[in-house]
Chain A
């Protein structure tokens, strides 16, 4: 195992009251993997990262790196490097000097420093800009310098603290791929903090979703999207609709949830919830189909169109159900090329495979 967090907890004390920023987090990160800590601001993801870096000391628990306990080691003795949100480039030093800063402290021979610095500048694609100062670089280039400066130290773990949040949307997408490419090329164990779920999905081997200092779920991007364990995760990753009800039939392969307000029962893919307990069906907007084809296998609900937006490739509907709840649905198959009318009756179908239950 590369990096292991054993039940780490961080309590901040201010004005006599305690704030539990991180609450018994346990996590094992395999060597060479990129793990993302994902969550809204204040969920404890940055504090966790700073405890791995050594800028904060855990109130409880320990941090292990390749078997060695590094909980109380100062940041510079952990063999860890970090890419900061603001990049934290030294404004008075050139690109080259920024990258070489850490190597020079290690008292490595001047030639080696020069060689490794050059290699790293090449790797991030900044050749020709060595003599520039950070303020003469674009945001994306600054980001690359920050990356090079961290990589040049050959760390065992590389930490990213919301590294793309200062870039515009287009650049963010290409830098995301770039970071992933370089991370896979160098095979450095990485921990990546972000609040952007799309970023997390596109880059990670493993996503750890956090809320109020606790881990809500961990899994591959596919798992957390398809099989969320709770409403928070379902809601945080992508758009979602919830249908409230009570679990009925129990068998390992499938389940039935009965909604009294809709006077309907739905077939579901899983049976996480005990019979008779409140349950929620998670249906993604793109799981609905609005075609009128009769198919008794499918779950269906009827409602009236409250509003819709035409977005070129698809239509986005807001549909009001008889019990007053609202459903968000996408329709991609626009063969009829005819727009619906507000107030029109629509029947929405979704398959059993697309109905995932979680505790209500």
Chain B
């Protein structure tokens, strides 16, 4: 049993922690406050943390300036599609790499996981040229197809699959189950936590993706929200209230989503430690 320090130590430390927590989240608080302010309030000094009245018109204003709805839908669609495809292809690959024995398997594993060493910036230019030559620029395909599988996801799932006792598989084999049957009725149901963690990482990473849509999409019809919102900063005439309203629309859904799934998310990082 460890001793609990006195109040004189605990209270100041609580104050320190809470202060840091507020500071870290201050940008979001300030964003929300501003998003609901009336244009005239924004320039008051000292800054006011509580608006005189809640003004929802900023959200409509932001939507008018850029096609926010379209961008949000595109991001949702792309991130979900990528996640679903990765669920399929990553788990396929992870199963082959963890449960089936064949020549060259370990080499393929190295090849697949080796892509973790290649930062996307390095392949940005040639990848752009390739998709341009394939006529994929300005489409959903260009945002989805290159990311159908990921080294991170394969690695995570493979580690998990390796932990499933071999005897379970043998019990199923002796009962007459084939590889595909085992994969769908034994391996996948038992791997729900890992599949869920991988899906969360993938979805959030692609919702937040900026660089690839920036270079591969110029048509607003296919543009994703992160690039869309950055257009707000370049225009000097845009109001700060609109900008913050647009930011709130981009960020708040993800934060709320994160609060629901944070446990799995943070534990996933501690386990894998290889993805933001």
Show the binding face of A for B, using Cβ within 8 Å.
53-55, 74-76, 80-82, 84-86, 88-92, 101-102, 105-106, 149, 153
Q: Is B186 an interface residue (CB 8 A)?
A: yes
Q: Which of B56-64, B171-179, B195-203, B208-216 contacts A (4 or more CB under 8 A)?
A: B171-179
Q: Supply 25 A–B pairs (Cβ within 8 Å), ascending by A.
A: A53-B170, A53-B174, A55-B170, A75-B170, A76-B173, A76-B174, A76-B176, A76-B177, A81-B174, A82-B170, A82-B171, A84-B170, A84-B171, A85-B167, A88-B165, A88-B167, A88-B168, A88-B171, A90-B168, A90-B190, A91-B190, A101-B177, A105-B176, A105-B181, A149-B171
Q: Bound complex: CA of A101 vs CA of B189, how far in Å?
A: 14
Contact flags B147-189 to A (C-beta < 8 A → 1, else 0): 0000000000000000001011011111111000100001001
A90: chain B residues at CB < 8 Å are: 168, 171-172, 186, 190
* Structural contact, A86 and B165, CB atoms closer than 8 A: yes
A149: chain B residues at CB < 8 Å are: 171, 175
B167: chain A residues at CB < 8 Å are: 84-86, 88
Using CB atoms, name the residue of chain A closest to B169: A88
Q: A102 with B176: in contact, given A91-B190, A92-B190 (CB under 8 Å)?
A: yes
- Most chain A C-beta atoms within 10 Å of own C-beta, residue among B165, B167, B177: B167
Show the binding face of B for A, using Cβ within 8 Å.
165, 167-168, 170-177, 181, 186, 189-190
* Structural contact, B168 and A102, CB atoms closer than 8 A: no
Using CB atoms, name the residue of chain A closest to B168: A88
Q: Bound complex: CA of A105 vs CA of B165, how far in Å?
A: 21
Q: A54-B174, A101-B177, A149-B171 are in contact. List 6 more A-B contacts (CB 8 A).
A: A55-B173, A75-B170, A85-B167, A86-B165, A89-B171, A153-B175
Q: Bound complex: CA of A80 vs CA of B189, how far in Å?
A: 26
Q: Bound complex: CA of A264 vs CA of B84, how far in Å?
A: 84
Q: Bound complex: CA of A101 vs CA of B186, how far in Å?
A: 11
A84: chain B residues at CB < 8 Å are: 167, 170-171
Q: How far is the CB of B164 from chain A (nearest CB, A)?
A: 10
B173: chain A residues at CB < 8 Å are: 55, 74-76
Nearest 10 Cβ contacts at the A-B interface = A102-B175, A88-B167, A88-B171, A76-B176, A105-B176, A84-B167, A92-B189, A75-B174, A88-B168, A75-B173
Q: A82 with B174: in contact, given A88-B167, A88-B168, A90-B168 (CB under 8 Å)?
A: yes
Using CB atoms, name the residue of chain A closest to B165: A86
B176: chain A residues at CB < 8 Å are: 76, 102, 105-106
* Structural contact, B177 and A105, CB atoms closer than 8 A: yes
B189: chain A residues at CB < 8 Å are: 92
- Most chain A C-beta atoms within 10 Å of own C-beta, residue among B173, B176, B186: B176
